Amino acid sequence: MLGLAFLVLVIGLANLGRAGLTLRYASLLPKLAMTVSWAYLVATTGFWGLVFVACAVGLMCFRPWSRRGTLAATTLYEIHVWINRLLFDANDYARQTRLRDLLLTLLLLVLVWGVLNVPQVRRALGVRRISEMPGGGR
């Protein structure tokens, strides 16, 4: 599970790095024609970066909320990425890499959902089934 937490942290830090680079590019190329604004790119990458860093810290500290938070964040992030791709891709290369990127998206989702649904991981994070709760299953 700590490997997954590290992966989530890397995704978060990469998004924060992209937000920083986007700010730099915005100052260097303010009149560049783009399909979305610089502010949108900074806001979305910064937001997802903070969300993933928070989820990674939660996973590393074995917080019960971190499991659902990471599942939701990863799934919503990938949905957001694909909506952006389908609406705003403006070149042929981006269209040519869609199949590869779809496979990587599916791999990430299978990995995250698979690891976070392993019974030992659920127990480590304090997640119990209804039947395991006092008075549960009756």
- Between 118 and 128, name the one with better pLDDT: 118
Q: What's the Cα-to-Cα distance from 117 to each of 1, 68, 77, 125, rounded to whole Å?
A: 11, 10, 19, 11
Q: What is the pLDDT of residue 136?
A: 59
| pLDDT band at residue 91 under the 50/70/90 scheme | confident
Q: What is the 3-state secondary structure (H, E, C) of the chain?
A: CHHHHHHHHHHHHHHHHHHHHHHHHHHHCCCCCCCCCHHHHHHHHHHHHHHHHHHHHHHHCCCHHHHHHHHHHHHHHHHHHHHHHHHHCCCHHHHHCHHHHHHHHHHHHHHHHHHHCCHHHHHHCCCCCHHHCCCCCC
For 10-23, the pLDDT digits (tens) are 999 999 999 999 99
Give the whole-number percent of the chain exceeding pLDDT 90.
83
Whether residue 135 has pLDDT greater than 80: no
pTM attached to this predicted model = 0.88
